[in-house]
Amino acid sequence: MSLGEFDLIARYFTREVRRAALGVGDDCALLAPTAGMQLATSSDMLVEGRHFLSTVAPERLGHKALAVNLSDLAACGARPLGFTLALALPRVDEVFLDGFARGLLRLADAHDCELIGGDTTQGPLNICITAFGEVPAGAALLRSGAVPGDDLYVSGSLGDARLALEVFRGHLALEGMRFDAVRAAMELPQPRVSLGLALRGLAHSAIDISDGLLGDLRHILRRSAVGATVDIDAVPRSDALAAQAPEWQRVCTLAGGDDYELLFTAPPRQDRAVHEAAAQAGVPVTRIGRIDAEPGLRLVDRHRVAVADTFGSFDHFRP
Ligand code: ADP
Ligand code: MG
């Protein structure tokens, strides 16, 4: 006999809370933020066919659904506390639920972020997570803090998730082992939570890259009322991507989407501290440009020659 709604919640999504004052089972969950901290919160919805392919392993889907939310907390320099899970399921599929819950809760445990509640309903597969974190009052990293003269940095490497998508679409080809690695970038993004924490007090502004580097950079520029110059050849990329045609490398690194790396700015005098923070967080950071007083975004190549900015940003309502 298939599980009912409440058995399903009890079996897969109910665990003892450690930090929250109250978890799953009542009308509300209760969070107990530390005194003097501000609560940071962010929601992200994942829709089948739009944000993930139906072929993705349930365990990876569970991971990614939480990872994209933790990435938002990371971009604000917030420490994760807990999250809620709103789930629409076409049917009760225990193999799916088992894998999904395993991937989800493993990442949750790795970041000490508890599942405290949610909602469960029947419908086309849809996953909406709201994550809560805390950050000392006034210390959150924002999009609006960039200052002319700041260095522009990016964590990790960019473009592999888009490369994997293009392989799925049949536009590009990769042999087995290389494909597994870029597929993992798409399906198992690692939220840069420790880096976000380490950048508090150092970075002037930050955003996580979910819709492509240049599109997300434009959010910082607009909110901070500044411009920027980006050396597009300095944008870090994997060996698998570096082996592709130059045009594809540009599309994937500059307008790829689904990277979940941090893009941030910091004054040049903090350069050493930024690299120390990155080393402490165990993730490389690369300087890719600078913030200018002159509005607009200027792209240059490694020879400082201007490159036309024809790279859009991902937008669900535009082709
Ligand atoms: P209500 O009708 O008051 O909104 P529900 O009966 O829908 O509450 O849910 C019962 C409890 O189970 C609540 O504490 C809710 O937060 C929790 N819950 C429901 N779905 C999930 C889920 N997918 N993951 C975690 N907790 C859930
Ligand atoms: Mg209720």
DSSP 269-315: GGHHHHHHHHHHHT--EEEEEEEESS-EEEEE-TTS-EE--------
Tell me, what's the pLDDT at 50? Answer: 87
pLDDT digits 0-9 by tens, 222-267: 999 999 999 999 999 999 999 999 999 999 999 999 999 999 999 9
| Ligand 1 atom index nearest CA of 87 | 23
Where does residue 266 rank: exposed (0-12), middle (13-18), buried (19+ CB within 10 A)? Answer: buried
Q: Give the residue, out of 119, 125, 126, 130, with the most ligand 1 atoms within 8 A of its beta carbon, to mutate for a pocket test.
A: 119
Q: Tell me the two tokens of residue 286.
A: 């690369």
Give the contacts of 3 (CB within 8 A, at least 6 positions apart). 11, 92, 94
In 33-93, which residue ranges form alpha helices assigned H by DSSP? 58-75
65: CA distance to ligand 1 center in Å?
18
Domains 5-136 and 143-307 share a fold: no
- Using pLDDT thresholds of 50, 70 and 90, give the confidence band for residue 311: confident
Whole-model pTM over 0.85: yes
User: Residue 86 and residue 137: Cα distance in Å, rounded?
Assistant: 29
What is the 26 CA–ligand 2 centroid distance (Å)?
7
Closest atom of ligand 1 to CA, residue 115: 25
> Is the minimum distance from the CB of 4 to ligand 1 under 6 angstroms?
no
In this structure, are residues 224 and 105 in contact, taking their beta carbons and an 8 Å threshold? no
Which pLDDT tens digit goes with each residue over 184-217?
999 999 999 999 999 999 999 999 999 999 999 9
Helices 58-75 and 176-187 cross at an angle (nearest 10°) of 60
13 lines ligand 1 (CB under 6 A): yes
Smallest CA-to-CA distance from 297 within 238, 239, 231, 229 is with 229
In the block, tokens 């501000």 appear at 38
CATH number assigned to the domain covering 143-307: 3.90.650.10
Give distance in angstroms: CA of 28 to centre of ligand 1: 9
Distance 86 CA to ligand 2 centre (A): 14
- How far, in Å, from the CA of 27 to the mean position of ligand 2? 4
* Protein fold of 5-136: 60s Ribosomal Protein L30; Chain: A; (3.30.1330)
Q: Is the pLDDT of residue 312 over 90?
A: no
Q: Which amino acid is at 169?
A: R
What amino acid is encoded at 296 in this protein?
A: G
Domain ranges of the chain: 5-136, 143-307
**Which helix H or strand E contains 134, and what residues bound it?**
strand 126-136
